[in-house]
Chains A and B, each alone.
Chain A
Amino acid sequence: MSTLTPAGPRSSVPTPSTSTTGSRRRGKSRMDPTRNNTAAGIAAWLLALLFAVPVLWMILTSFHSEIDAATNPPSIAADLNLDAYKEFFGATSGVSPWPSLINSATASIFSTILVLLLAIPAAYALSIRPVKKWTDVLFFFLSTKMMPVVAAVLPLYLFAKTAGALDNIWFLVLMYTSMNLPIAVWMMRSFLAEVPVEMLEAAQIDGATLLLTLRKVIAPVAMPGIAATALICFIFSWNELLLARVLTGVVAGTAPVFLTGFVSGQGLFIAKVCAAAVVISLPVLFAGFAAQDKLVQGLSLGAVK
């Protein structure tokens, strides 16, 4: 269909052979749940560990002293301590990361709430009681997400500068709301579409009010989806750097901005960087694993279940 696509499958041709050799002999590997695929299992585990090494190494190093963190070969079995974390929280520099962490939390939590307040009614009007031409509206939402942030950031910066909204966390809240709104509308629509039509009809015939229908019929089905949407929006806001970098400064700087200005110092800092990376990634790791079941559906905008 496109000029891009043939490359995808072609590049991937060598990979399947590794997985299929395990079940050469007409094995019903997928249908027989008792059969273990040893070769595939070992390969998958090796690759999983390989991908996890940077994360595990980050965590291990964050508990090492700076001297042990900077050795070649690496000191895997070095003593563990919390010095790097104390350093990150400003033990000697006196610079606390807390304001930036609080800014990040403010921006992420409030933008997520705003996103839900705007996206849930919109998704309702696109799935349960759809407006005419609702697919057009849906695709308009998606098309705004495809415009790179960098193409709008200068006017936003100039506006913030004139309006005195520069370095103001609430302006960032609005920006993150617009950044996540299209994704949230798409996700929410796909979750609301899972509410069975028969149940809605039954509620209508029984004369249930809108509020009652929302509470008793729609909410139970849509709740896990709403939670997943919220978690994914939270992650995207928490991760964001470009807008925060341009629109905030000393007062409203978020954790990613803090992190980029953090390494300018001299001397050994690897353990400290690892500790910082662990601290700032923890909320995302928690949110991500909490949303794990719905992560795919959310990230693919509801196109994949």
Chain B
Amino acid sequence: MTTATARVSRQGSSTAKPSRNARARERAVAWARRAPLLPALVFLIIVTQLPFVVTLIISFMNWNSLSPDKTGFAGFENYIQVVTDPYMLQAILTTIVETVSVVLVSLGLGLGLALLLDKKFIGRGLARTLLIAPFLIVPVAAALIWKHAILNPVYGLINGSLTWIWSLFGSDAPPQPDLLSSAPLMAIIVSLVWQWTPFMMLILLAGLQSRPMDTVEAAQMDGATPWAIFRHLTLPHLRQYLELGGLLGAIYIVQNFDATFVITSGGLGTANLPYAIYETFYYANEYGLASAAGVVVVIGTIFVATFALRTVFSLFKKEAAR
């Protein structure tokens, strides 16, 4: 994924014997075309590809900065530890559960909201603006708000509201769930779903609004029910937008660090791979192990990213064909 496609195009290999002068000029033109591209390309290769190569090397090393005398080649030891160590295994599982549930739930909610916002109603623009707001809260701040002002078992908004609603019915024993300690992963998932639903909604809404209306009109003329129109026209059209939203969302959510760091500090089995890697190298100084885990994340991401790239590419080709 990271090394493949950067082939630099080669110029004029099949031209029939041009003079040396012409060939030189041709090459100069090609380089003039390439020149604006090179700074960005070189910068990116140095800052992202090189470090990953180093990670790859360290992942085969025995390297703990606290005991530098034991530094050396470790073979696949670190990788074996990643897939056998309970903490790392838990982190892999947590990452999968977290990513899949956040993506699916926020896609579902985003689709519902997009379908509603696709209709005309009073104050639609304002409703849309309100719905985007969660995405525009700094993730660290959002996590802090969810932890302290919303989910806090004693004076959070949820339990406070439950007390108030129950008191309306004359009850002084309202349920007071404590998500933060009884289901901490759920707490993280809820806050992430809240932040990512607007993202999904925006992409799906754009998809809905790009729907060719003439076929829908024709179907309505022929007496198709709204459900049939949704099932056979809207959903197939939305499919690639659902894929795009889900895959881009997955790529971002796999990397979630902020919510875990703030809400649980990785406790109670909520550490996902990014957090576990951070802990392994930042606090435990196990550089080799952390790097191996990093490589595992990359391999996992490649699976998702391949599909993502393909989806982006198909949308891309469609746009280019227009």
Interface residues of A (CB under 8 A from B): 1-2, 4-5, 7-9, 11-12, 15-20, 22-24, 26, 28-31, 33, 35-38, 40-41, 43-45, 47-49, 51-55, 57-58, 61, 69-74, 118-119, 121-122, 124-126, 129-133, 135-137, 139-159, 174-175, 177-178, 181-182, 185, 235, 238-239, 241-242, 245-246, 255-256, 259-260, 263, 269-270, 273-274, 276-277, 280-281, 284-285, 287-289, 292, 295-297, 299-301, 303-305
Contacts and interface: CB of A to CB of B under 8 A. Distances in A.
Max chain A C-beta neighbours (<10 A), residue from B7, B39, B40, B159: B40
Contact of A16 (B39, B122, B131, B227): B227
Given A136-B5, A177-B47, A270-B155, 17 more contacts: A26-B220, A29-B120, A36-B122, A41-B119, A44-B127, A54-B149, A72-B159, A121-B39, A139-B5, A149-B274, A256-B140, A273-B149, A288-B135, A292-B132, A299-B199, A299-B202, A301-B312
Contacts of A52: 130-131, 133-134
A277 B58 contact: no
A205 B31 CA distance: 23
Interface of B: 1-2, 4-9, 11, 30, 33-37, 39-41, 43-44, 47-52, 54-55, 58, 104-105, 107-109, 111-113, 115-124, 127-142, 144-146, 148-150, 152, 154-155, 157, 159-161, 163-164, 167, 194, 197-199, 202-203, 205-207, 210, 213, 216-217, 220, 223, 226-227, 230, 234-235, 238-239, 241-248, 250-251, 254-255, 257-258, 261-262, 273-274, 277-278, 281-282, 287, 290-291, 294-295, 297-298, 301-302, 304-305, 307-313, 315-316, 319
Contacts of A142: 309, 312
Listed from nearest, the 10 A-B pairs whose CB atoms lie closest are A41-B121, A132-B9, A121-B36, A15-B112, A277-B141, A73-B164, A155-B54, A288-B136, A178-B47, A151-B294
Contact of B145 (A8, A9, A273): A273
A147 B132 CA distance: 27
A44 B116 contact: yes
B36 to A, nearest CB: 3
B58 A9 contact: no
B53 to A, nearest CB: 8
B230 to A, nearest CB: 5
Given A8-B246, A260-B262, A304 B315 contact: yes
A151 B298 contact: yes
A43 B121 CA distance: 10
A144 B44 contact: yes
Given A20-B230, A44-B121, A269-B148, A150 B278 contact: yes
B291 A154 contact: yes
A190 to B, nearest CB: 8
Given A4-B246, A150-B297, A155-B54, A178 B44 contact: yes
Given A148-B254, A285-B136, A41 B48 contact: no
B315 to A, nearest CB: 4
Contacts of A303: 244, 312, 315-316, 319
B294 A276 contact: no
A177 B47 CA distance: 9
Contacts of A289: 129, 132, 136
A274 B312 contact: no
Contacts of A61: 149
A70 B149 CA distance: 9
A123 to B, nearest CB: 9
Contacts of B2: 143-144, 147
A74 B260 CA distance: 26
B155 A148 contact: no
Contacts of B118: 19, 30
A249 to B, nearest CB: 12
